[in-house]
Copies of this chain bind each other. A is one copy, B any other.
Amino acid sequence: MLRNGKAYDLLRQLTKQIGGRLSGSPQFARAVSWGKFTMEMIGPDKVFLQKCMIPHWVRGGADAAAITEMDKKPYPKKLDVLALGNSIGKGTITAPLLAVADFAELDKRKDSVPGKIVYFNKGFDPTNVSPFVSYGQTGIYRRSGPSAAAKYGAIGVMIRSLTESAANDPHTGAMAYNDSFPRIPAIAVGPRDADEIWNLTRRSALTVTMTTNGKFLPDTIGHNVVGEVIGSAFPGEFITIGAHLDSWDVNEGAHDDGAGVVQTLEVMRVFKALGYKPRYSIRFVLFANEENGLRGGTQYAMEAEAKKEKHVFALESDAGGFTPRSFTVSGLQPAQLEKMSSWIKLLSNYGITKISTGGGGADISPLNRLFATPICGLEPDPQRYFDYHHARTDVFENVNKRELLLGAINMAALIYLVDKYGL
């Protein structure tokens, strides 16, 4: 696979010919066609689309923001910003800034909030060895920060981008309004600009002007792309391997999750090339709408339930196309975990040195909830993921061919082991 692997060439197609592919966009529809065509060329037993309604959020134009020190001659400093996904734009608004470290400070200063634009400075804790832990600690500011501020009367929200990157690119991502409060506009600020805001607020009162245009169009039809190889011994029992086909609109979705998409296709290709006949039925799934709705993953599990399918295992790759380090699993019995851990010695030459508990993947999580299916996530080296995550820099050029292929090799090996020896 390191010699003849096609994952990198496929990733070039997906990122350079199609590009960003947010749910509802023409690019997402093209990505579905590309995924179906690519699977058909590989030639599993079946290729089909699974229809689901998906949200159709659009950015609606260029996001912008600038700050002015109120006691100085107005000389606005432009900020590099991106509206948060699912946020509703309000055109251009101007208001005094209230900068807070976190939710606790917001609560303390709630009487100052009405009429302001609130800035949350909460950033990654660099002492976490895995940046995914930092993301877990701060993601709530992106998802819920807007409504938390609206509750106290804010008219707009800015958050520090969720990254430790040294670059100033802002990082978008999904938010969700709490319908009890007004839907105020919300943007992410580039990390260097965030530093400057935070420093300036120590010495000056600031005014912010922000321009946002996000809106929802009516839900539209989307599809999961599914390839299936029918099992020789247990055709009615399924192993799922997948990744999500949608991405944000501002980049090429190369690591998130183009990498997982082409790794899934690579595993299918290799099984076909080797003439491998699995014991279980294997489903290769490119999920719709992970980023701002999870409708594809939900649909897949609901159809499985309706058809009373049995799902024995699911694997997702959605943490970037970096060097593989471990698999994380949820829903395994202790004996199953021990069995899987015994396979480490087979995988360690290719980079996987650990099976740890507590992970999986967003798109396969509904399978786990509905059927208690054991779910597993490929966990590559995490250090660079949030340099690119939801930022303009998540492009093909930032994926290394060998790291990408090594991930696919480990995924193929794990699926083979689960299929051959069971769990």
A337 to B323, CA, bound (A): 27
Residue with the greatest number of chain B CB neighbours at <10 A, chosen from A128, A323, A351, A402: A402
Q: Which residues of B contact A387 (CB under 8 A)?
A: 400
Chief secondary structure at chain A's binding surface: loop
Q: Which residues of B contact A401 (CB under 8 A)?
A: 164, 166
Q: Does A358 contact B (CB under 8 A)?
A: no
Say whether B323 contacts A383, CB under 8 Å: yes
Taking CB atoms and an 8 Å cut-off, the chain A residues in 1-47 that contact chain B are: 2-3, 8
Say whether A131 contacts B3, CB under 8 Å: no
Q: Does A126 contact B (CB under 8 A)?
A: yes
CB-contact partner of A129 in B131, B350, B353, B384, under 8 A: B350
Q: Does A127 contact B (CB under 8 A)?
A: yes
Q: Which residues of B contact A350 (CB under 8 A)?
A: 129
A401 to B353, CA, bound (A): 24
Chain B residue with the shortest CB-CB distance to A125: B3
A381 to B381, CA, bound (A): 9
- Asked whether A402 and B127 contact (CB < 8 A) given A323-B383, A353-B354, A383-B323, the answer is no
Say whether A129 contacts B383, CB under 8 Å: no
A223 to B237, CA, bound (A): 68
A403 to B349, CA, bound (A): 21
- Asked whether A384 and B400 contact (CB < 8 A) given A126-B2, A129-B349, A349-B129, the answer is yes
Q: Which residues of B contact A128 (CB under 8 A)?
A: 2
Interface string of A341-377 (1 = CB under 8 A from B): 0000000011101100000000000000000000000
Residue with the greatest number of chain B CB neighbours at <10 A, chosen from A129, A166, A383, A401: A383
A387 to B402, CA, bound (A): 11
Interface string of A127-138 (1 = CB under 8 A from B): 111010000000
Say whether A383 contacts B354, CB under 8 Å: no
Q: Does A406 contact B (CB under 8 A)?
A: yes
Q: Which residues of B contact A351 (CB under 8 A)?
A: 129
CB-contact partner of A126 in B3, B129, B381, under 8 A: B3
Distance of A197 from chain B, by nearest CB (Å)? 21
A129 to B384, CA, bound (A): 21
A354 to B323, CA, bound (A): 16
Distance of A242 from chain B, by nearest CB (Å)? 24
Chain B residue with the shortest CB-CB distance to A384: B400
Residue with the greatest number of chain B CB neighbours at <10 A, chosen from A3, A323, A403: A323
A164 to B387, CA, bound (A): 24
A384 to B322, CA, bound (A): 10
A402 to B406, CA, bound (A): 22
Q: Which residues of B contact A3 (CB under 8 A)?
A: 126-127
A166 to B406, CA, bound (A): 16
Q: Which residues of B contact A131 (CB under 8 A)?
A: 402
Q: Which residues of B contact A403 (CB under 8 A)?
A: 383-384
A65 to B351, CA, bound (A): 40
Interface string of A238-255 (1 = CB under 8 A from B): 000000000000000000
A128 to B129, CA, bound (A): 29
CB-contact partner of A402 in B353, B383, B400, under 8 A: B383
Known: A383-B400, A384-B402. 8 other contacts (CB 8 A): A2-B127, A3-B127, A129-B406, A323-B381, A353-B353, A381-B381, A383-B402, A384-B400
